[in-house]
């Protein structure tokens, strides 16, 4: 006789093909997080947290897109069991769990967020999901830019700041940026976001201006 948990998993498996129809939409990885969260919590586990590119993809409305789902899994064992039940497998030596039928990749990074990081709650299809905060996403990307001088990380930081402008906890973001010695890197992003609103320039034009400043004007600044 099928249990309530079995029925829940069967129901989720039937819904998984919807993932393919969501390609290039900000809902795509939120849907996958919903499926995993639903199954994990029905199994008695603690909710996983969406981090990395999937969170940025959602926060920037796919101005940045990613091919995999990055997770923090407080209940590692249950999460891995759920992935298997939902048709994911982890090839020997691989980092990712793969569902070839869906074209989906999942990577579990650890069991806890780093110190001072926070998660926010998003209700999707009546299920409360957890995502790393947009403030922490900005801190991560700027730290990566500082280390690697990656234009992609710089643009991700800008897109996060622009798309989440009305939702950012600026007091917390400012504190975290100063803590990581990244505030000077954020000032040009803040200025460009302000110029976007005041002068009504396009997002692509603003991004190009930011890149030009960081590549050339930044040499005259104490970065």
Q: What is the pLDDT along the chain (223 residues), one digit of tens a residue?
A: 344 556 677 777 777 778 777 776 778 889 999 999 999 999 999 999 999 999 999 999 867 777 789 999 999 999 999 999 999 999 998 999 999 988 889 999 999 999 999 999 999 999 999 999 999 999 999 999 999 999 999 999 999 999 999 999 999 999 999 999 999 999 999 999 998 888 888 888 999 999 988 887 644 443 3
Tell me if residue 181 falls in helix, strand or coil.
coil
Give the predicted TM-score (pTM) of the model: 0.87
CA dihedral 55, 60, 64, 66 (to 10 degrees): 20
- Residues in the chain, total: 223
Angstrom distance (rounded) from CA 120 to CA 51: 11
CB of 96 closer than 8 Å to CB of 71: no
Task: Please list the residues that pair with 145 across neighbouring strands.
Answer: none
CB of 97 closer than 8 Å to CB of 68: no
Q: Is the dihedral of CA 47, 36, 78, 90 positive or negative?
A: negative
Alpha helices in 16-150 (DSSP H): 18-21, 28-42, 52-59, 76-85, 134-148
Distance of CA 54 to the CA centre of its chain: 4
CA distance readout (Å), 90 to 60, 112, 141: 29, 21, 28
């Amino acid at each position: 006789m099928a249990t309530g948990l079995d029925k829940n998993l069967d129901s989720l498996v039937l819904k998984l093909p919807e993932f393919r129809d969501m390609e290039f939409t900000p809902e795509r990885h939120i849907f996958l997080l919903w499926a995993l969260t639903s199954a994990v919590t029905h199994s008695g586990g603690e909710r996983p947290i969406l981090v990395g590119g999937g969170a940025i993809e959602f926060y920037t409305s796919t101005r940045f897109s990613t091919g995999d789902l990055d997770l923090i899994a407080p209940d590692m064992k249950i999460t891995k069991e759920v992935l298997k039940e939902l048709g994911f497998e982890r090839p020997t030596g691989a980092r990712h769990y793969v569902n070839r039928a869906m074209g989906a990749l999942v990577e579990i990074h650890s069991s806890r967020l780093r110190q001072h990081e926070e998660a926010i709650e998003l209700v999707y299809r009546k299920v409360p999901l957890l995502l790393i905060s947009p403030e922490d996403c900005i801190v991560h990307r700027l730290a990566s830019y500082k280390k690697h001088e990656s234009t992609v990380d710089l643009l991700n930081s800008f897109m996060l700041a622009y798309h989440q402008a009305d939702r950012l906890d600026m007091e917390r973001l400012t504190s975290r940026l100063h803590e990581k010695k990244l505030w000077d890197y954020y000032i040009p992003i803040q200025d460009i976001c302000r110029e976007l609103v005041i002068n009504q320039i396009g997002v692509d034009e603003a991004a190009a201006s930011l890149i030009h400043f960081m590549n050339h004007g930044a040499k005259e600044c104490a970065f």
